[in-house]
Amino acid sequence: MSGPRLSASSLTKRFGGLVAVDDVSIEIAEGECLGLIGPNGAGKTTVFALIAGEIEADAGTILLEGEHLESLPAYRRARKGVARTYQRLEVFPEMTVLEHLLFAQTAHRGSTGVVRDVLGKGRPSVDELGRAEAVLERIGLSAQASTVVGTMSLGSCRLVELARALVTSPKVLLADEPSSGLDSYETRDLGELLTELRETQGISIALVEHDLTMVRAVADRVAVMDLGRVIASGTYDQVMAVDRVRSAYLGNPT
């Protein structure tokens, strides 16, 4: 594949008089991790929502492996290979961990509905079960496969979200603060997992994260947003040396 796997160019989104995303452009290569950081309200999560198709951009283009996604609804973008996790936890409390992964595969194929059940195809296939079990093993949730998610800790629910995204074999993973609720050891393990996924499976990752230690360890490149715009991009050390970044993101030195 020539060129970036994911390319978002000149994205703009307004909510009334507020410009939440202002002419933002990012690119991610195959197997690359881009860290997207900045203060609260900078527009990072809105960029993810635009790429995933959950909200419509006022301007800009989004290409996945050269294919335009702008006109596609969220579910079709997901089937093309765009998966995401959420800043605000999005799980089904009454379902088990394994059921989350099986449902994700069914929805990804577009095979839900009564017709499937009438034809006796409502049960998961051997392949679906095997794929779900393999992902749970990789994430470290095998022992909790039958656990109802509503009884689990916030940190464990974050891992369920990640596993649900990975079971569809995405090309691009939009990870929105995946370490939220995890302790330092769990965060380290998560960073190692994300690195393994992109190195062994070629998954491209966009990472919104406030834990800068994790960003530095995982991201190949970093883009810093403030007030809806990208104000710096480069390696972690390069962007952290920019005065505007220190002022907007880290605060003015005392």
pLDDT digits (tens, 9 = 90+) for 110-138: 755 534 543 445 677 888 899 999 999 98
- Counting every residue written for the chain, the total comes to 254
Q: Of 66, 65, 54, 63, nearest to 21 (Cα)?
A: 54
Q: How confident is the model at residue 22 (pLDDT cuts 50, 70, 90)?
A: very high
Quick one: how many helices (H) and strands (E) in the chain?
10, 10
Q: How far is CA 111 from the centre of its chain?
A: 24
Cite the DSSP H helix spans in 140-183: 154-166
Q: How confident is the model at residue 254 (pLDDT cuts 50, 70, 90)?
A: very low
Give the contacts of 189 (CB within 8 A, at least 6 positions apart).
140
Ramachandran angles phi, psi of 224, nearest 5°: -105, 130
- Percent of all residues in the chain with a pLDDT value above 90, rounded to a whole number: 69
Q: What would you report as the CA-atom Rg of the chain, rounded to the nearest whole angstrom?
A: 19
Residue-wise pLDDT for 26-74, tens only, equals 999 999 999 999 998 999 999 999 999 999 999 999 999 999 999 999 9
SS3 40: coil
Structure tokens at 10: 């000149």
The whole-angstrom separation of Cα 195 and Cα 192 is: 5
In this prediction, residue 119 carries a pLDDT of 43
Residue 251 scores a pLDDT above 70: no
Structure tokens at 61: 């283009």
The whole-angstrom separation of Cα 80 and Cα 72 is: 10
User: Exposure of 89 by Cβ count < 10 A (0-12 exposed, 13-18 middle, 19+ buried)?
Assistant: middle
Q: Give me the amino acid identity at 244.
A: R
Q: How confident is the model at residue 154 (pLDDT cuts 50, 70, 90)?
A: confident
Q: Of 191, 194, 170, 173, nearest to 182 (Cα)?
A: 191
In this prediction, residue 110 carries a pLDDT of 74
Q: How confident is the model at residue 139 (pLDDT cuts 50, 70, 90)?
A: confident
Residue-wise pLDDT for 192-202, tens only, equals 999 998 998 89
β 82-84/172-176 pair status: parallel
The whole-angstrom separation of Cα 192 and Cα 8 is: 27
Task: Choose the weakest-confidence range: 4-8, 22-26, 47-51, 156-160.
Answer: 156-160
CATH number belonging to domain 6-250: 3.40.50.300
| Average confidence (pLDDT) over 145-156 | 91
- DSSP 8-state assignment for residue 209: -
In this prediction, residue 124 carries a pLDDT of 78
SS3 26: strand
The whole-angstrom separation of Cα 74 and Cα 49 is: 9
